[in-house]
Amino acid sequence: MYDEAPIVGEAIKLVWAVNPVVPTCEHALEETNIVQINQDGVKKAAEYISLRMFVESYTPRTWQTHPLHICPPEPYTPSEPLTKECLDWIFLISSLNFSFWSERERTEERYGVEWRKGWGKEERTVHTGYWSLVAALNRALEENIPITDPAFYSSEVLCPDSLITHVFRAASQSKETLPLLRERIAIMREVGSILCNDFGESYLGFLNAFQKSRKGQGTALELVQMVTDAFPSFRDERWVNGQRVFFWKRPQILVAETWAAFYPSGSSLPHPFFPKSPGPCISSLTMFADYRVPQILHHLRILVYPQWLEEKLRKGESIEPGSREEVSLRAASVVGVERIRKEILRLTGNVERYGDGEAHGAGPEKEEVSSVLIDFYLWDLAKRIESGEDKIEEVETAGMLPAHRTRSIWY
């Protein structure tokens, strides 16, 4: 019934008018029949999230405020070396953005990377989880190791496995190494070789090819499709009862990070990678089905788990990739965030803007209620709650369960 082997063969050669992640995840949620969605929780959480995002001025430009991010030059200048550096950095991080949970959660012994608290900061700290990946790559760049250059990391001669292992070395107190290191190295070789052989040795070259093929009229969803067509390790897909189910966590987050990092400072300016009508249509993308966002969705009483699944999570038991419960958790997250988005649109009096045949113009979309931005916000919120920096008091919550433990290259 549930195919544990991911789909890594030929990419689908279809152009989707509607993101296939949404209807196929709805199908998977119904077929698995484990995780349920609480519509009352959706409504209350939508009010809370909408207000918090407004009060905190949470916008695509928030991406540039993270201290570990490499930010591009403004205005957009393709010939500026920092533009290519930023894009190659985003691409490699998205290629390796999976499986950071630890067997030693909440202890100093978990895998971590010691580096600065941010670019230009003298104070150092040990970064864990996703930020350990970012810190490791930043540290390597600071040590003059061109680790984000596809021509470098694709080459076993210039960048042997031993050097990559050194790049991801753990902090002195860590008793763990980076999970799935061998798989990460294989992915680096694969995606780097494809960029070098087919796209001029850079993610910028890939984006230029995208724009040329669409005459500047490409959308975010079309860019996601091109990513999955080009790179087998981005094809995050499963079979459920004979139907293909698309999750596309990393291809969507790659496009979303590209969109946010280069989001124009002025509303009249076009997005450099989606310059012509209809624009990026970012609302066509879904949330990024991982293990962190389901955790906060359950805390907000949006996702409801059967008691046996709650017990499994509390005990820290492994959930196998492709299993019925894993598919259900990921599918419910996609559907749940879509319902939050639609409820926020209802609350704010906005309407769907993509797929209705109306032109957006070349500038940034006026409608910023997207599952992408909701996901960014929920992920940040979950991390703040985990660290004790924040808590939810305005709405009723369920106890915070541990994130589900699935070792996978997909998330």
Measure the CA–CA gap between 248 and 74, rounded to whole angstroms: 30
CA distance 319 to 326: 6
User: Cis omega before residue 81 (within 30°)?
Assistant: no
Task: Assess whether 3 carries a catalytic annotation.
Answer: no
Q: Cα torsion for 279, 280, 282, 286, to the nearest 10°?
A: 130
Distance of alpha carbon 238 from alpha carbon 166, whole angstroms: 34
Cα–Cα distance between 21 and 84 in angstroms, integer?
Answer: 30
Q: What count of residues does the chain have? A: 411
Rounded to whole angstroms, the Cα distance separating 249 from 286 reads 9
From residue 24, alpha-carbon distances to 20, 244, 292, 335 in Å are 6, 7, 21, 10
Return the closest-CA partner of residue 401 out of 111, 105, 175.
105
**DSSP 8-state code for residue 2:** B
Residues 328, 379: Cα–Cα separation, whole Å? 19
Catalytic residue among 88, 290, 380, 390: 290
User: Cα torsion at 227, 246, 252, 201 (round to 10°)?
Assistant: -20
Q: Give, in order, the Cα–Cα distances in Å from 170 to each of 93, 161, 173, 227, 265.
A: 17, 16, 8, 31, 37
Query: What is the DSSP track for 363-378?
Result: S--S----HHHHHHHH
Q: How many CB atoms lie within 10 A of CB 59?
A: 15
Distance CA 29, CA 247 (A): 12
Residues that are catalytic: 290
